[in-house]
Structure 1
Amino acid sequence: MKVPQQHYRCPLGRLQPQVTDLEAIKQSGWREQHILVVSADDDRLDWMERELLKRIGERLYGEKGAHHG
């Protein structure tokens, strides 16, 4: 009679991080809550869109994250 060998499962294996699909999270954030997360350096944007994002970021958050209200 052959007995299958038990494979040792390291208890640390469950602590390894799960790979997260960031684009899917951004997409659902926009669709569900209208929160937009985009880099001003995103290659999918043209020059005018990048400039618009930079200006909006500056207006809302200012230089070095200072809030302008």
Structure 2
Amino acid sequence: MGRRNLYVLLVMLFFMIYMFGHSYGSRQTQVFQVQPKVQAPNHFLGFLPKGKPIPPSGPSRKHNDIGF
């Protein structure tokens, strides 16, 4: 590779690094403008409904019983 090709390659590399620093690829915008409902006591922070308690996992005694 000639000296001129190496120079052009380095200039292009520095130009690309410079342009990546000025790109706006990671903008901090909020797409959904959601406001929580004030009069919703059964919602978690006004967004999600309350969940039901999750029972412990494992076989139940009512089913999967062999009958010993």
Report the TM-score, using the length of structure 2 for normalisation: 0.25
Greater helix percent: which structure? 1
Greater strand percent: which structure? 2
Report the TM-score, using the length of structure 1 for normalisation: 0.24
User: Which structure has the larger Rg over C-alpha atoms?
Assistant: 2
